[in-house]
């Protein structure tokens, strides 16, 4: 486990893609320390390297320069030890498996690294309000339900770190805004509070959810702001009308305009 108070440490990360016609610098000199249990959002213009950054932290991509550490080990090792859960924009549920069996999938694949007991698939479905839909197949679910099932699947390995890349980006606005409060409820209800790195386009989503928001510049993405969100928890929909919330929103909107 971590010997530093930081769950995620990024040290001077840069990444250049060299598989295209010309080398493309996606992120540049990103350094960041994320304490255990922090909910951190990453916002920035489209194409500024947010997904690239998340893929590096998740061990899916090796950076050209610099180093990423998760619980003091490489992301690849942390992933092998099942410390990292992913939720992407596309639900990526297996269409031939029903909800329960999709959520069970990572448990069937096995692996170890945890000494404590994992949540059960049934318990996770209960938490997500999907118990009555356990026998349904992905195509029989709404987009919001599919994303809740995907989140349940990510939580099945009880990861200490959750990486979410625009998880609600494909949902309609009403479902999307409901999902942020759902996620808060779920995040607050797990035994070990998970560290979350959450990529979003939505300023409101970032503010409602986060302890802290990082703003990236346009490509190559660099950190241009690092903001602590000091809004009281638990947060409910009312918060989006509070003066403090609106101040934070204006501030971030200004930064994003400059960053683009
Ligand atoms: P964001 O998630 O912020 O929209 P990405 O991290 O997906 O941005 O992409 C950052 C930049 O890197 C973009 O210009 C994108 O075209 C480029 N890029 C992403 N993945 C690859 C890849 N596998 N090969 C080449 N270029 C890529
Ligand atoms: Mg992206």
How many A from CA of 49 to the centre of ligand 1? 6
What CA dihedral angle connects 250, 88, 126 and 143, to 10 degrees?
80
Q: At what angle do helices 173-189 and 143-155 cross, to 10 degrees?
A: 20
How many A from CA of 238 to the centre of ligand 2? 29
| Residue 218, token pair as written in the block | 């346009």
By CB atoms closer than 10 A (0-12, 13-18, 19+), residue 155 is buried
Q: Which of 157, 150, 159 is nearest to 179 (CA)?
A: 150
| Residue 88, token pair as written in the block | 């992407």
HSE-CB at 228 with a 13 A cutoff on CA atoms is: 4
Task: Please give the pLDDT value at position 2.
Answer: 46
Minimum-distance ligand to the CA of 52? 1
Q: Is 92 helix (H, G, I), strand (E, B) or coil?
A: coil
Of all protein residues, the one whose alpha carbon is nearest to atom 27 of ligand 1 is 17
Residue by residue, pLDDT tens for the chain (260 residues) are 545 679 999 999 999 999 988 999 999 999 999 999 999 999 999 999 999 999 999 999 999 999 999 999 999 999 999 999 999 988 889 999 999 999 999 888 765 555 567 788 999 999 899 999 999 999 999 999 999 999 999 999 999 999 999 999 989 999 999 999 999 999 998 777 899 999 998 999 999 999 999 999 999 999 999 999 999 999 999 999 999 999 999 999 999 998 87
Task: Please give the pLDDT value at position 114.
Answer: 57
The ligand 1 atom at the shortest distance from the C-alpha of residue 20 is: 25
Ligand 1 close to Cβ of residue 51 (< 6 A): yes
Length reported for the chain:
260
| Residue 222, token pair as written in the block | 């660099």
Distance CA 120, CA 135 (A): 16
Maximal CA-CA distance, the chain: 51
Task: Please give the pLDDT value at position 193.
Answer: 87
Tell me the Ramachandran region of residue 172: left when phi exceeds 0, alpha when psi lies from -120 to 50, beta otherwise.
Answer: beta
């Amino acid at each position: 486990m971590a010997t530093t108070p930081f769950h995620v440490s990024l040290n001077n990360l840069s990444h250049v893609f060299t598989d295209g016609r010309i080398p493309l610098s996606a992120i540049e000199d990103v350094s960041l320390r994320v304490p255990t249990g922090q909910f951190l959002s990453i916002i920035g213009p489209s194409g500024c390297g947010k997904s690239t950054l998340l893929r590096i932290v998740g061990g899916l991509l090796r950076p050209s320069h610099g180093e990423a550490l998760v619980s003091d080990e490489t992301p690849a090792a942390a992933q092998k030890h099942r410390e990292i859960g992913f939720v992407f924009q596309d639900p990526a549920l297996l269409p031939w498996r029903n909800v329960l069996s999709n959520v069970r999938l990572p448990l069937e694949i096995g692996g170890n690294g945890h000494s404590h007991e994992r949540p059960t698939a049934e318990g996770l479905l209960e938490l997500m309000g999907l118990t009555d839909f356990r026998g349904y197949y992905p195509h029989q679910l709404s987009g919001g339900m599919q994303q809740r099932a995907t989140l349940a699947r990510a939580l099945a390995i009880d990861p200490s770190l959750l990486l979410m890349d625009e998880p609600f980006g494909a949902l309609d606005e009403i479902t999307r805004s409901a999902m942020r409060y759902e996620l808060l409820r779920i995040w607050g209800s797990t035994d070990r509070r998970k560290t979350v790195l959450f990529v979003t386009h939505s300023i409101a989503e970032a503010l409602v959810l986060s302890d802290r928001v990082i703003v990236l510049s346009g490509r190559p993405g660099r950190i241009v702001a690092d903001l602590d969100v000091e809004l009281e928890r638990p947060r409910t929909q009312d918060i989006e009308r509070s003066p403090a919330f609106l101040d934070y929103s204006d501030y971030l909107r200004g930064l994003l305009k400059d960053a683009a």
